[in-house]
Structure 1
Amino acid sequence: MADDDSLTKDDIFSMLSNRRRRLVLHHLHRQSGTASVRELSQQVAAWENGVSTDELKYKQRKRVYTSLHQTHLPKLDDIGVVVYDRDRGTVELTERAGQLEPYLNIQSEPTESWSVYYLALAGLSALIVFFAWVGFFPFPMLPDIVYAGVVTVVFAASAAVHTYQVRSATVDPDSAPPDSARPSRNPLDETVADGGEDGGD
Structure 2
Amino acid sequence: MWHYTNTLHVSSSTQSRQQGEVAGGVVSGSVGTDSPDLSDDELFEVLSNRRRRYTVHALEETDGAAEIGDVAEQVAAWEYDVDVEEVSYEERKRVYTALQQSHLPMMDEAGIVEFNKDRGLVEPTESLNDIEVYMEVVQGNEIPWSVYYLGLSGVAATLTAAVWLDAWPFALLPDIAWMTALTAMFAVSAVAHTYFARGQRIGETDKPHELRRE
TM-score by length of 1: 0.51
2:203 equivalent to 1:168: no
1:119 aligned residue (151, 156, 161) = 151
Change in CA separation of 1:158 and 1:3 when aligned onto 2, cut-off 3 Å: closer
For residue 81 of structure 1, what is the aligned residue in structure 2?
A: 112
Paired with 1:166 and 1:51, the residues of 2 have a C-alpha distance of 23
1:133 aligned residue (153, 158, 165) = 165
Deviation at 1:112, TM superposition (A): 0.5
Change in CA separation of 1:164 and 1:43 when aligned onto 2, cut-off 3 Å: closer
Q: Please tell me whether the aligned partners of residues 132 and 140 of structure 1 are also in contact (alpha carbons under 8 angstroms).
A: no
Q: Please tell me whether the aligned partners of residues 42 and 61 of structure 1 are also in contact (alpha carbons under 8 angstroms).
A: yes
Higher helix share: 1
Over alpha carbons, which structure has the higher Rg?
1
User: Matched residues, percent identical?
Assistant: 25
Count of residue correspondences: 162
Q: Deviations over 1:150-192 (max 9, x none)?
A: 3233213312321332233257838878xxxxxxxxxxxxxxx
Change in CA separation of 1:176 and 1:156 when aligned onto 2, cut-off 3 Å: closer
Query: Structure 1 unaligned runs (5+)?
Result: 178-201
Higher strand share: 2
1:38 aligned residue (65, 69, 76) = 69
Q: Please tell me whether the aligned partners of residues 82 and 97 of structure 1 are also in contact (alpha carbons under 8 angstroms).
A: no
For residue 107 of structure 1, what is the aligned residue in structure 2?
A: 136
For residue 89 of structure 2, what is the aligned residue in structure 1?
A: 57
Paired with 1:10 and 1:80, the residues of 2 have a C-alpha distance of 9
For residue 155 of structure 1, what is the aligned residue in structure 2?
A: 186
Paired with 1:39 and 1:141, the residues of 2 have a C-alpha distance of 63
TM-score by length of 2: 0.49
Paired with 1:119 and 1:63, the residues of 2 have a C-alpha distance of 45
Paired with 1:155 and 1:27, the residues of 2 have a C-alpha distance of 36
